[in-house]
Amino acid sequence: MFKRILHCLVMLTFLLLPFSEAMDSEKNESNLLDYMYTLCEKTSIDILDIYSIIYIESKWDPNAISNDGHDIGYMQIRITTARDYCPDITIEQLLKPKINIKIGILHYKYLLNYYNNDKIKAISAYNRGQRNVNMMKHVKLIKTKYYRSFINARKSA
């Protein structure tokens, strides 16, 4: 129930930017970066966090698909996660850069809210899954190689 309420609150943030806008074709990279900046500004997320997640997850490859085939696009979103935010989304839509980034930002915002703005836990949950992070008892266990990569990517962004 709590998870559903948080998802709803995060979705309310985006009422002014409907998914139909994200479905427009990406004209160029500059347009995509402007779009990312706008979304980050509206959600009060540090754009360097998103740049870093994209770099670590996909190395900026919009067509990236994980080895197991479940994680898709720039932000390596699972279709099941995407459907928490957009129930009717398809894999083809999730491969569209703007949609992928928008859902990735929504999910990261949800995780930040869930973990009371604890970036270590939010970033770890983004990569390892919320259930796995919730089972960890010590914060130092959460400081994974992924999180260290996140910090290094932020420094070089």
Residue 47 in any domain: the answer is yes
Residue 144 in any domain: the answer is no
Residue 157 in any domain: the answer is no
The pTM of the full predicted model, rounded to 2 decimals, is: 0.77
Q: What b/e sequence results for 35-72 when a residue is b if at least 16 CB atoms lie within 10 Å of its CB, and e otherwise?
A: bbeebbeebebebebbbbbbbbbbeeebebeeeeeebb
Segment 47-51 mean pLDDT: 92
Residues in the chain: 157
Beta-carbon count within 10 A of 148 CB: 10
Residue 113 in any domain: the answer is yes
> Taking the CA atoms of the chain, what radius of gyration do you get in angstroms?
15
Residue 118 CA neighbour count, 13 Å, CB half? 13
Residue 146 in any domain: the answer is no
- The number of distinct structural domains making up the chain is 1
Helices 2-13 and 97-114 pack at an angle, to 10 degrees, of 130
Between the two ends of the chain, the Cα-to-Cα distance in Å is 37
What CATH code is carried by the domain that includes residue 22?
Answer: 1.10.530.10
- Residue 45 sits at φ, ψ, to 5 deg, of -105, 140
Q: What is the pLDDT of residues 101-133, one digit of tens each?
A: 999 999 999 999 999 998 888 988 898 889 888
Residues 6+ apart with CB under 8 A from 108: 45, 49, 50, 53, 122, 126
Pairing of strands 71-72, 77-78: antiparallel
Q: Is the dihedral of CA 112, 114, 115, 116 positive or negative?
A: positive
Structural domain containing residue 60? 2-118
Q: What is the pLDDT of residues 74-103, one digit of tens each?
A: 999 999 999 999 999 999 999 999 999 999
Q: What is the pLDDT of residues 129-148, one digit of tens each?
A: 898 888 876 655 555 666 66
Q: Are 10 and 109 in contact (CB under 8 A)?
A: yes
Residue 142 in any domain: the answer is no
Residue 51 in any domain: the answer is yes
Residue 155 in any domain: the answer is no
